[in-house]
Structure 1
Amino acid sequence: MRSFGYARAGSLAEAIAARAAGATPIAGGTNLIDLMKLDVARPDRLLDLNGLDLRGIEIGPEGARIGALVSNADLAAHQQIAARYPLLASALLAGATGQLRNAATTGGNLMQRTRCYYFNEADTPCNKRSPGAGCVAIGGVTRIHAILGASEHCIAVHPSDMCVALAALDAQVIAEGPAGERAIPASAFHRLPGDTPERDNTLGDDEIITAVTLPAEGFADHYSYLKLRDRLSYAFALVSVAAALRIEDGRIAEARLALGGVAHKPWRDQEAEAALIGREPTRAAFADAAAIVLAPARAQGSGPEGNAFKIDLARRAIIRAFDQAARRTPQSQTHKQVA
């Protein structure tokens, strides 16, 4: 690990000023410190945000506001969050381990870097680490890589579980900088790689995440977060699905769908959601939605080192997650076997 400076922010204004001057924010450090140890992240100065008053959870008739420093463990365990937004609580419990959830924060989870074998290896060319260096993942071992939204410059995937649920729930990320406060839709916070894969999200270089807000509708009756991975615990998703439905008179009145592990960002498909409106909640309807989502999917290699298998895995996961949501039998994050 390289040497770096350290400062602890005493106020939000102080934090914004330090951020604008080039400091790198740190809260739980569960991702940043790992990348520093790998010599992938090389901050000159860390800005500790833990002294800021950003740990509140406020819930009212119009929705919820979650402070950026609320830990993933506290958020998942919050009784009103679990009751009103169980999709979010389930996604949080699907991620990492209890120890990591105790340290990880809401804002830090949003700022996770994308996942790629080659990005984490500082000696390999990588457009994310060094723009213009090339992407050796393309043509390499691509088992975990993107099947949607990839570019010729990057095929990495976003690793978060929480962010997939936030995208499905129409959450907003609240950021504050020198120009004031702004709200960024969670589905637009992370970005596709395009020709600038070094930028994972749309947060300004002079902005600090202060909160996440959720609308009133939490889909507490019909939801499921399904995470498929190589191990039953402490593993990133090969494919994850946040599925939610509002069912009235036996037909789908509203649908939400977001995928993780398949793209550079949580993948929300509103066309597939719209195609379900008015239909009965059947596996045939869910299969049609999956076909819409995966129509543009492209494999990055076949065989045991490729990710062609993820396309069919995603199709089956979408159908299963929606079926669980419709039946009110959400995927258990305690007993992880898929029912």
Structure 2
Amino acid sequence: MINFQYLRASSPKSAIDGVRTDLSAQFIAGGTNLIDLMKRGITAPPKLVDINNLPLRDIADEGKTIRIGALALNSTVADHSLILKKLPLLAQALNAGASAQIRNMATVGGNMMQRTRCPYFYDPSLPCNKRAPGSGCGAVAGINRMHAIFGLEPVPDQHVCIAVHPSDMCVALAALDATVEVWGPGGNRTIPFTGFHRLPGSNPQKDNTLQHGELITALRLPDNALATHSHYLKIRDRASYAFALISVAAALDLKGKTIQQARLAMGGVAHKPWRLTEAEQVLIGKPATEATFREAAQVAMRGARAFEHNTYKLKLAPAAIVEALTRAAG
């Protein structure tokens, strides 16, 4: 690791001021991903602005929405009575992620900002457009078992990045229509969660739509009727501390056996949490049966394409959707 300047912010304004004039400066909270990247030489910010003293840890019911401060710990959110009652899907996703020790350090905002775990990104000796734009994507012709099947460029030889987003929490947030509150040099703004993370496009090094100097302050999640019938399914190589091969966040609002509303999102399949809006529409108004779930899964897989080592995902993904919906329906 290189030497770096360390500052501790006492207010959101001082935090923003601490990074906005230095394009390489970064915020740090729990540091569970950033410190790893610094140790491996993937990133080397000359300045870190510690935001842990900012008043951004509250979890509150504000009537029609639930507000979660960006510095709330993953473990705190997962165990909070309000989240367990009204947003159990989020609690399930958080508890499926990382290890208990990491959840006790990681923050909600940091979870959103974590970077891919693609091995080509983590190894400076290998080509990676996300780490070194223009160097190529080593995963395309390499070992791509964990990689994306959605959100890919239409022309195969133009794939600039096929890495997947690693977060479990973010899959649930995408399904639950969350919005992100940010403060920055240009003032305050909100971002729909499904628009927060981005596909590689021509700038694979950019993971999200934040502007430099903007600070995540909170998440807002609308109240809903989905708490009773929800399930987060994570399929991974081992039961503890492994990233998803496929994950599915599923939530249903049932009247009898008829689906009134549906929410579906997937992880382990794209550069960002992958919301399945077309599949949701298929479910509405239909009975909560295996046949309905299989129809929705078939629609969800439109546009999916695999590489040499991840063709199994083309079968595993729809099966996981059916399983998650079946468990959610009870």
TM range (shorter): over 0.9
2:225 and 2:253 in contact (8 A); partners too: no
1:86 and 1:218 in contact (8 A); partners too: no
What letter matches 1:181 in structure 2?
N
Q: How far is 1:237 from its partner?
A: 0.4
1:34 aligns with 2:36: yes
Alpha-carbon deviations, 1:132-169, whole Å to 9, x = none? 11111111000000011134100000000000000000
Distance, in Å, in 1 between the alignment partners of 2:173 and 2:37 is 25
Identity, in percent, stands at 55
What is the match of residue 142 of structure 1? 144
Mapping of residues 229-268 of structure 1, within 5 Å: 229-268=236-275
Three-state SS of the structure 2 residue aligned to 1:118 is helix
Three-state SS of the structure 2 residue aligned to 1:279 is coil
What is the match of residue 337 of structure 1? none
What is the match of residue 156 of structure 2? none
Mapping of residues 276-295 of structure 1, within 5 Å: 276-295=283-302
What is the match of residue 75 of structure 2? 73
Q: How far is 1:218 from its partner?
A: 5.6
1:169 and 1:218 in contact (8 A); partners too: no
Q: How far is 1:115 from its partner?
A: 2.4
Q: How far is 1:223 from its partner?
A: 0.3
Distance, in Å, in 2 between the alignment partners of 1:261 and 1:41 is 23
TM, length-normalised to structure 1:
0.94
What is the match of residue 305 of structure 2? 298
Alpha-carbon deviations, 1:100-126, whole Å to 9, x = none? 000000000000112211000011121
1:18 aligns with 2:21: no
Distance, in Å, in 1 between the alignment partners of 2:201 and 2:322 is 29
What letter matches 1:222 in structure 2?
H
What is the match of residue 154 of structure 1? 161
- Among 91, 100, 103, the alignment partner of 1:101 is 103
Consecutive unaligned residues in structure 2, runs of 5 or more = 154-158
Distance, in Å, in 1 between the alignment partners of 2:100 and 2:117 is 21
What letter matches 1:13 in structure 2?
K
Distance, in Å, in 2 between the alignment partners of 1:146 and 1:130 is 19
Distance, in Å, in 1 between the alignment partners of 2:19 and 2:152 is 30
What letter matches 2:145 in structure 1?
R
Distance, in Å, in 1 between the alignment partners of 2:134 and 2:194 is 27
Distance, in Å, in 1 between the alignment partners of 2:96 and 2:280 is 24
1:240 and 1:261 in contact (8 A); partners too: yes
Mapping of residues 206-217 of structure 1, within 5 Å: 206-217=213-224
What is the match of residue 320 of structure 1? 323
Consecutive unaligned residues in structure 1, runs of 5 or more = 328-339
Distance, in Å, in 1 between the alignment partners of 2:313 and 2:30 is 31
Alpha-carbon deviations, 1:170-227, whole Å to 9, x = none? 0011111122111111111111111211000011112000000110116111000000
- Among 59, 62, 85, the alignment partner of 2:61 is 59
1:146 and 1:263 in contact (8 A); partners too: yes
Distance, in Å, in 1 between the alignment partners of 2:110 and 2:270 is 19
2:233 and 2:249 in contact (8 A); partners too: yes
1:239 and 1:317 in contact (8 A); partners too: yes
Distance, in Å, in 1 between the alignment partners of 2:38 and 2:28 is 12
Aligned length: 323
1:166 aligns with 2:173: yes
- Among 188, 194, 210, the alignment partner of 2:195 is 188
What is the match of residue 210 of structure 2? 203
Distance, in Å, in 2 between the alignment partners of 1:94 and 1:284 is 28
Relative to structure 1, the CA distance from residue 218 to residue 233 in structure 2 (aligned partners, 3 Å threshold; closer, same or farther) is farther
2:29 and 2:110 in contact (8 A); partners too: yes
Distance, in Å, in 2 between the alignment partners of 1:61 and 1:24 is 34
Alpha-carbon deviations, 1:278-330, whole Å to 9, x = none? 110111111111111112111111xxxx0110121111100000000111xxx
1:142 and 1:300 in contact (8 A); partners too: yes
What letter matches 1:161 in structure 2?
D
TM, length-normalised to structure 2:
0.96
Three-state SS of the structure 1 residue aligned to 2:171 is helix
1:85 and 1:218 in contact (8 A); partners too: no
Distance, in Å, in 1 between the alignment partners of 2:225 and 2:237 is 30
What is the match of residue 84 of structure 2? 82
What is the match of residue 117 of structure 2? 115
Distance, in Å, in 2 between the alignment partners of 1:265 and 1:75 is 22
Three-state SS of the structure 1 residue aligned to 2:120 is coil
Distance, in Å, in 1 between the alignment partners of 2:97 and 2:170 is 11
Distance, in Å, in 1 between the alignment partners of 2:141 and 2:250 is 32
What letter matches 2:9 in structure 1?
A
